[in-house]
Structure 1
Amino acid sequence: MDGDARQLDRLVRNLIDNAMRHVRTAVTVRIEEQAGYVVLQVDDDRSNGSCDACVGG
């Protein structure tokens, strides 16, 4: 995966911090590869389950 490590760290931290602020009971983090892209999904139990960030590979 291409990307600035510091910026990717900031992205992940911000997504998780935001989910933690809005959670009722659980936060789920998924990372997978799809068609050459890394897909990072952060869901809290109040979210709609949509993809929060996709980073090209």
Structure 2
Amino acid sequence: MADFKTAPADASAGVKLMTWVDNRFPATKLYKEHLSEYYAPKNFNAWYFFGSLALLVLVIQI
């Protein structure tokens, strides 16, 4: 079975809510693995962002 985390007694309501949600669905774990700690190349810059945005707009129009 999964190991449930417990929030400290003096934690805010938001922290307690996220702990409750994480015990049922690992939302913060997924966020960390796929968004915040995702490896990006050193030469990644704004042109990659605008290129992917242009590709998205093209696909939406087609």
TM-score by length of 2: 0.25
TM-score by length of 1: 0.26
Which gives a bigger RCO, structure 1 or 2 (Cα 8 Å, sep 6+)? 1
Greater percentage in helix: 2
Rg larger for: 2
